[in-house]
Amino acid sequence: MLINLNGKLVDKKDAVVSVFDHGLLYGDGVFEGIRIYSGNIFKLKEHVDRLFDSAKYIMLDIGMTKEKVIKETVRTAAKSGIKNGYIRLVVTRGEGDLGLDPRKCSKPTYFVIVSTIQLYPEKFYREGLSITTVAVRRNVNEALNPQVKSLNYLNNILAKIEANNHGSLEAVMINEQGYVSEATGDNIFIVKNGKLITPPLFTGVLKGITRDAVVSIAKKLKIRVSKKVLTRYELYTADELFMTGTAAEVIPVVKVDSRLINGGTPGKMTKKLMTEFKKITKVMGTKVKY
């Protein structure tokens, strides 16, 4: 496995960063997870745009243009030879001292890993997943806005631990107002009376690129889509439920806090959207020349 570390392609064993890197010491940095389907990088521009927005929020100068980040990502994918996989793009504040002050970090660290990922076992894509709402609240917008894809995922990890402790693979995070925000690494959708509903960004949600892709697919299929606040009540009484994310893709949910959704089987609209999503991943994307 080759890793692009600050522009140099190195072996996995040589892909090491300093213990003084603030990405490690403080989670001070930003990242993206991107998929490659059949040698095409899916929604690369959208991911790089989001990376730069996250960096802007935390006042991190990536030190490269978007075009250069795209070029480095494509180059690493080409060298990897991986045609169906997952890319992790990370930019940290870089090496500093033991204080928090980011001004002491003179140069950001970046790396690109091209590998594979399987977030949930395959059978759950056919049978649906069971999820749990957790006590850990979603970060409030004015503390660390969940639209920022920062390296600080402890809020999500605490939620994941709680779900795991309940024997569940995934957690749904509720925000301080009691509204549903998102899962630890995925966005949430419900289907109610033929309409598709997903929580609006202000409830503490990452603007998922898969979420946006599913919304545009639904609109093309003339399905009505709305961004509305949801409580646990709407989850429990949904006709269908599914989650979206780059790593997870589109995955059906058939149980929330022991309440069965659609009798415990993936719903019709969910299955249709899964099929259509698969189709667009086959025809879209930035071509990699291997």
Q: Which residues bind ligand PMP (CB under 6 A)?
A: 33, 156, 182, 185-187, 206, 208-211, 244-246
Cα angle 92-110-170, degrees, rounded to a multiple of 5: 65
User: For residues 93 and 149, which CB has a smaller minimum distance to ligand PMP in the complex?
Assistant: 149
Backbone Cα Rg of the chain: 19
Q: Would strands 170-174 and 180-183 be described as parallel, antiparallel, or unpaired? A: antiparallel
- Confirm if 149 and 54 have CB atoms less than 8 A apart: yes
CA dihedral 191→195→201→206, nearest 10 degrees, is 50
Question: Which is nearer to ligand PMP, 20 or 277 (by Cβ)?
Answer: 277
Beta-carbon count within 10 A of 231 CB? 13
> Do residues 196 and 224 touch, judged by C-beta distance below 8 A?
yes
Cβ proximity to ligand PMP: between 130 and 150 the closer is 150
Rank residues 203 and 244 by Cβ distance to ligand PMP and give the closer one: 244
**CA separation for the pair 138, 55 (Å, rounded):** 21
Positions marked active-site: 149
Give min distance, CB of 149 to ligand PMP, in A.
6
* In the complex, least distance from residue 90 CB atom to ligand PMP, rounded to whole angstroms: 13
Which stretches of 137-206 are DSSP H helices? 154-165
Question: Are the C-beta atoms of 51 and 42 separated by less than 8 Å?
Answer: no
Buried b vs exposed e over 109-119: b needs ≥16 C-beta within 10 Å?
Answer: bbbbbbeeeeb
Q: Closest approach of Cβ 210 to ligand PMP, in Å?
A: 3
Q: How far is the CB of 252 from ligand PMP (least distance, A)?
A: 16
CB under 8 Å to 258, separation ≥6 — which residues? none
Minimum CB distance to ligand PMP smaller for 70 or for 105: 70
CB of 215 to ligand PMP, least distance (A): 11
